[in-house]
Structure formats: structure tokens, C-alpha cells
């Protein structure tokens, strides 16, 4: 077993963290308060080469392996303190762009990947519906064939980047008679399509610089070439594969957030005094810091185990769920403890630590809830 990253990976990590500290961190507080996505920051992330990380260079990407992609998202979050940006970048890369690379025709790859990798276009994926979240097989959004076109009707909710995306991968039922989870297909919908509209952006608790949208498809006509992957097989082929990308790669941002919170808590504990000595001299505070470090290391190891398995092409659905479940719980515990160490100052918005609880809560919900991760793990162990 080799736990070391290469010199090249470590240098890359440092360069991304430095970039994020210079470009992302300065406006992160205001973007959170205003719930505002910043296109300039996005473009800078694109220029830095982070928006097409795992995509081959021939399509405009960076050809990064899975571990390096995780490292970049972790470093962006550690240096940038902007959970919303991490969410938007993670969704754009892992569920908005990767499926086109893995399942697209050559024409689709040529049309979309260079624009998505540069950041000129923003990507998204729409599975969740107002009445179908955890139970993705219960979606009702329908796509009907009409001559050389498909006509999409239905609504999607909680779509990251929904209102800013140029191309959205939409999962819809194409054969309602096919049985549960079958007859579901994926389509690439360009958002200048007249049948597409944004219902509204949803005002959320955390990760506030990332838009989250309700989307409507009303007689939305797309050409037959918009079909992504095999007709009828998208739930298993595209959507569930995306969940594994979210659970192994996208949540690397959360590890960066945990690191930033721990560092902030350590710094504060050394500076702030109570009862005539720094907080860091009180054993109760030392224990919190030690536990935060243990949670961080365990979460990081589980995440990189799953990422390494993905990189090696090994089955990793259970390991991805274990990582997602543990990271969600560890990130929340650490955010609570970091806030506690900051005392009253942790509860006011002037300090970045205040965002940590609100941002961390998402990890147990988005990309499959913690209850669903437990279900996947238990079903596998119990052979159900
Ligand atoms: C910030 C954010 C970003 C998101 N981004 C996207 C995106 O880009 N694209 C997209 O398609 N979706 C996205 N989602 C949707 C997200 O994946 C869903 O919210 C999530 O899957 C849960 O679905 P739900 O909200 O409908 O909850 P429900 O499925 O209604 O679940 C409600 C509660 O019941 C529990 N529950 C449900 N079924 C079971 C069961 N069988 N056993 C035990 N407990 C159960 C759940 O765990 C949860 O606690 C996003 C959500 C958020 C909040």
C-alpha cells in the first residue's frame, strides 16, 4: 500500500490552493451572503484548467487521473472557502461533463467537451423531480419520439447550475411500459431551446454561491442526436454511474472544507485566551482538535480509497457509499466542533467558520442521502 501522492500531484495541489486563496477566497463571504454565483470567478477557474480535469486533452480537458481530480477539488475548497463554488465546479465536471465523455458520440464530444472544459459553457445534470428524489426510478419526466426529434415534458427540481447552464443532461422516461427503472434515457438539452425554462432559483441554507433551480420542459424539442448513451438504459448506464462520480470525486471538496475548518480552529485556539491562557491549553479544546483531525484523516482515507478503486477500474459502488456516508457525518461533526471552538464568534457571519455547518449539511442530502448510502451498503453486505 502506498499512501503517498506524487511530487507532481503535491505541487499541483499547492498551485490550486494558492490560486483559490488569491482568486476565490476574497469574495466568498459576500457571495454567500448575497447567494450569488460569480461568473468572473468561474472563468478564472476555467482559465486555470480546473473545469475539464478528467477529460482527455484532445477534447480540451486536462487528462487528469481520478486522484488528481479529487486533489484539485480538495485544494480549491481548502484555499477558496467557497462551498458553493466547489459544488458548481464539482457538478459541472462530474455529472455535467463526464457523462458526455464516457457515453457521447464523437459528434457530441466535439460539440460539447471543448466548451465545457474551458468553462465557456456550464454543465448540469437533471434527474431529481418534485416527486422523485431518492427513488430515482420513480421519475415521470417524459421524452416522446416525434419523427427525427424527441419531445421532452416534465419538471426537474434541485438542479445545481440549472439557471446558469448552457447544456443540461436530462434523464427522462422514454418507454413507460418497460418496467421500473427501465426505459429511461438521457438527453443533452441546450438551454436556448424554447421549450426549456427556469421555474425559479431556490434560496438555500448553504453552498449559496451555487445556483439551485427548478426547471421546466414544456414540449422541449431536441434532435435525435441529443440522445446520450443507449436508449432506455440511462438510469443504470448514466445516472447511477454519475452517483459514483459524485460520491468519490465531487465530495473531495468537503475534505478541503474540513481541512480549512480545522486549520481555522487551531489558529483561533492558539490566539484566543480564556482563564488566563490560550484556548489551546484547555484539554477540552485539545480533545476537540484531536477528534477533528481523526475525523478528517478517516474521511480522507475512505474518499481516496474509493477514488483509487475508480481509477483502477475496480467495482467501487459500496466503497463510494461508505466514503459519502462517512464524509457527510465527519464534515458535520467537525463543522459543529470548529464553530464551538470559536464560541460566539463562530455564530456570526463575519467569520468563514459560520458557513461550515450550513455547507456541510448538504453532504448528507445531495448526491444520495445518508439513508440511501446505508441502504446500498447494507444491501450489499446482506446480499439483498
Ligand atoms: C443543494 C442540492 C444540490 C442538488 N443537486 C442536484 C443536481 O445537480 N441534480 C439532481 O438531479 N439532483 C440534485 N439534488 C437533489 C438531491 O439528489 C435530492 O435532494 C436527494 O437525492 C434526496 O431526494 P429528495 O430531496 O426528494 O428527498 P426524499 O427522497 O423525499 O427523501 C426524504 C427523506 O427520506 C429519506 N428516505 C427516502 N427514501 C428512503 C428509504 N427507502 N429508506 C430510508 N430513508 C429514506 C431520505 O434519506 C430523506 O431523509 C440536489 C439537492 C440539493 C439539496
CA 175 / ligand 1 centre spacing (Å): 24
Domain final position from 91, 122, 153:
122
Residues 185 and 307 in one domain: no
Residues 312 and 229 in one domain: no
Residue 141 confidence class, pLDDT cut points 50, 70, 90: very high
Distance between CA atoms of residues 302 and 304, nearest Å: 6
For residue 156, the domain's CATH number is 2.40.110.10
pTM score > 0.95 for this model? yes
Closest atom of ligand 1 to CA, residue 371: 47
Residue 29 CA from chain centroid, whole number: 20
pLDDT, position 2: 85
Residue 252 confidence class, pLDDT cut points 50, 70, 90: very high
Evaluate whether 335 touches 356 at the Cβ level (below 8 Å): yes
* pLDDT per position as a tens digit, 264-321: 999 999 999 999 999 999 999 999 999 999 999 999 999 999 999 999 999 999 999 9
Burial bucket for residue 313 (CB in 10 Å: 0-12, 13-18, 19+): exposed
276 φψ region: left (φ > 0), alpha (ψ -120 to 50), beta (else): left
Hey, which residues are catalytic here?
246
For 161, the enclosing helix (H) or strand (E) is none
> How many domains, in total, are found in the chain?
3
Residues 187 and 260 in one domain: no
Distance between CA atoms of residues 52 and 25, nearest Å: 21
Mean pLDDT of the chain: 97
| Contact partners, residue 195, CB within 8 Å, separation at least 6 | 151, 152, 217, 218, 219, 220, 221
CA 140 / ligand 1 centre spacing (Å): 16
* pLDDT per position as a tens digit, 170-197: 999 999 999 888 999 999 999 999 999 9
Residues 178 and 66 in one domain: no
For residue 366, the domain's CATH number is 1.20.140.10
Integer angstrom CA distances of residue 116 from 55, 64, 136, 353: 10, 15, 26, 32
DSSP structure class, residue 129: B
Distance between CA atoms of residues 203 and 209, nearest Å: 10
Residue 332 confidence class, pLDDT cut points 50, 70, 90: very high
Range of the domain at 292: 251-381
Closest to 371 (Cα-Cα) out of 343, 337, 329, 333: 329
As for ligand 1, residues whose beta carbon falls within 6 Å of it are: 91, 124-128, 133-134, 158-160, 204, 207, 212, 362, 365-369, 371-372, 375
DSSP assignment of 200-235: EE---SS-TTS-EEEEEEEEEEEEGGGEESSTTBHI
Residues 25 and 114 in one domain: yes
Q: Is the pLDDT at 364 greater than 90, yes or no?
A: yes
Distance between CA atoms of residues 7 and 22, nearest Å: 23
* pLDDT per position as a tens digit, 144-156: 999 999 999 999 9
Higher pLDDT, 373 or 384: 373
Distance between CA atoms of residues 8 and 14, nearest Å: 10
pLDDT, position 195: 98
pLDDT, position 181: 87
Residues 202 and 142 in one domain: yes
Mutational test site, ligand 1, from 324, 369, 370, max ligand atoms within 8 Å of CB: 369
- Give the residue-averaged pLDDT of 244-272: 97
* pLDDT per position as a tens digit, 19-42: 999 999 999 999 999 999 999 999
| Beta bridge mates, 142 | 153, 173
Residues 373 and 287 in one domain: yes
CA 297 / ligand 1 centre spacing (Å): 27
DSSP structure class, residue 166: S
Query: In this structure, which residue's CA is closest to atom 2 in ligand 1?
Result: 366
Residues 312 and 259 in one domain: yes
- Give the residue-averaged pLDDT of 215-239: 96
Evaluate whether 238 touches 94 at the Cβ level (below 8 Å): no
For 189, the enclosing helix (H) or strand (E) is strand 184-190
Residues 169 and 211 in one domain: yes
Distance between CA atoms of residues 43 and 29, nearest Å: 19
CA 365 / ligand 1 centre spacing (Å): 6
Residue 350 confidence class, pLDDT cut points 50, 70, 90: confident
pLDDT, position 351: 87
Closest to 195 (Cα-Cα) out of 236, 162, 153, 135: 153
- Give the residue-averaged pLDDT of 330-338: 98
Evaluate whether 48 touches 41 at the Cβ level (below 8 Å): no
pLDDT, position 132: 97
| Percent of the chain clearing pLDDT 90 (strictly above) | 96
Amino acid at each position: 500500500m502506498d499512501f503517498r501522492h506524487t511530487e507532481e500531484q503535491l505541487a499541483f495541489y499547492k498551485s490550486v490552493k494558492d490560486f483559490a486563496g488569491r482568486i476565490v477566497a476574497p469574495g466568498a463571504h459576500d457571495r454567500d451572503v448575497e447567494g450569488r454565483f460569480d461568473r468572473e470567478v468561474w472563468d478564472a477557474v476555467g482559465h486555470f484548467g480546473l473545469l475539464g480535469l478528467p477529460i482527455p486533452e484532445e477534447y480540451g480537458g486536462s487528462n487528469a487521473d481520478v486522484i488528481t481530480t479529487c486533489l484539485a477539488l480538495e485544494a480549491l475548497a481548502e484555499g477558496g472557502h467557497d462551498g458553493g463554488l466547489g459544488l458548481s465546479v464539482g457538478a459541472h465536471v462530474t455529472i455535467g461533463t463526464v457523462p458526455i465523455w464516457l457515453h457521447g458520440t464523437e459528434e457530441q464530444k466535439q460539440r460539447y467537451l471543448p466548451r465545457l472544459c474551458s468553462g465557456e459553457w456550464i454543465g448540469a445534470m437533471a434527474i431529481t423531480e418534485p416527486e422523485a428524489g431518492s427513488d430515482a426510478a420513480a421519475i415521470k419526466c417524459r421524452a416522446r419520439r416525434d419523427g427525427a426529434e424527441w419531445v421532452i415534458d416534465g419538471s426537474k427540481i434541485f438542479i445545481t447550475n440549472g439557471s446558469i447552464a448552457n447544456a443540461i443532461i436530462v434523464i427522462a422516461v422514454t418507454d413507460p411500459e418497460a418496467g421500473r427503472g427501465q426505459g429511461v434515457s438521457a438527453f443533452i438539452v441546450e438551454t436556448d431551446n424554447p421549450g426549456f425554462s427556469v421555474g425559479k432559483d431556490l434560496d438555500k441554507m448553504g453552498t449559496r454561491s451555487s445556483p439551485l433551480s427548478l426547471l421546466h420542459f414544456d414540449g422541449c424539442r431536441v434532435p435525435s442526436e441529443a440522445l446520450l448513451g443507449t436508449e432506455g438504459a440511462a438510469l443504470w448506464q448514466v445516472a447511477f454511474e454519475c452517483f459514483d462520480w459524485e460520491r468519490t470525486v465531487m465530495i473531495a471538496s468537503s475534505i478541503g472544507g474540513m481541512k480549512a475548518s480545522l486549520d481555522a480552529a487551531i489558529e483561533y485556539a492558539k490566539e484566543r485566551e480564556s482563564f488566563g491562557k490560550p484556548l489551546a491549553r484547555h484539554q477540552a479544546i485539545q480533545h476537540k482538535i484531536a477528534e477533528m483531525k481523526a475525523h478528517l484523516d478517516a474521511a480522507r482515507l475512505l474518499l481516496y480509497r474509493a477514488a483509487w478503486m475508480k481509477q483502477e477500474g475496480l467495482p467501487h459502488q459500496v466503497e463510494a457509499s461508505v466514503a459519502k456516508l462517512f464524509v457527510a457525518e465527519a464534515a458535520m461533526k467537525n463543522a459543529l466542533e470548529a464553530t464551538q471552538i470559536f464560541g460566539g464568534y463562530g455564530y456570526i457571519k463575519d467569520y468563514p467558520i459560520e458557513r461550515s455547518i450550513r455547507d456541510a449539511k448538504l453532504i448528507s442530502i445531495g448526491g444520495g442521502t445518508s439513508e440511501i448510502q446505508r441502504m446500498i451498503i447494507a444491501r450489499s453486505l446482506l446480499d439483498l
